């Protein structure tokens, strides 16, 4: 004999809301850094230091982008060390940003022609 499971409309709405919140939270903590190479030269040996992670990107051609995903493991700033094929010098790009655990932040880093960089917080 089956029990009568009559779920009321407000209960259904509540359950649906909880389900949607669970699904939307599945990606929480996964953050991205998009690196845009506008330097005019290929760049290589990129080491992205962010949120307690050290992430590698082998090469980005001039005018191309690369996106990496990370999960913050500790509080930190954003720093990218790379080589420009213009002169093979090691360069560093530091962002005046604060990364902390439990927060999802997406950034855009633009490597500029003058050897500097611009770091932007990407908004949805």
SS3 state of residue 99:
strand
- Boundaries of domain holding 38: 29-122
Lowest pLDDT segment from 20-29, 49-58, 115-124:
20-29
What is the CATH classification number for the domain harbouring 54?
2.60.40.2890
Q: Which of 19-28, 53-62, 68-77, 91-100 has the lowest mean pLDDT?
A: 19-28
Examine residue 63 and state whether it is found in any structural domain, yes or no.
yes
15 is a domain residue = no
pLDDT in tens, 27-64: 455 899 999 999 999 999 999 999 999 999 999 999 99
Asked if the structure places residue 115 within a domain, the reply is yes
Dihedral sign of CA atoms 71, 41, 36, 113 in order? positive
Has residue 10 been placed in a domain?
no
| Residue 89 maps to a domain | yes
Give the model's pLDDT for residue 52. 94
96-114 residue pLDDT tens? 899 988 888 999 999 999 9
CB-side neighbour CA atoms (13 Å) of 18: 6
Query: Residue 55 and residue 82: Cα distance in Å, rounded?
Result: 12
Closest CA to 28 of 100, 123, 105: 105
Q: How many domains does the chain have?
A: 1
């Amino acid at each position: 004999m089956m029990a009568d499971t009559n779920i009321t409309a407000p209960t259904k709405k509540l359950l649906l809301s909880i389900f949607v919140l669970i699904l939307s939270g599945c990606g929480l903590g996964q953050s991205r850094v998009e690196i845009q190479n506008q330097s005019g030269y290929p760049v290589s040996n990129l080491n992205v230091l962010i949120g307690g992670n050290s992430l590698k990107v082998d090469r980005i051609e001039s005018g191309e982008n690369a996106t990496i995903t990370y999960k913050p493991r500790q509080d930190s700033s954003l720093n990218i060390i790379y080589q420009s094929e213009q002169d093979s010098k090691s360069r560093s790009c530091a962002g005046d940003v604060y990364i902390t655990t439990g927060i999802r932040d997406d950034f855009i880093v633009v490597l500029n022609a003058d050897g500097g960089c611009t770091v932007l917080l990407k908004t949805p």
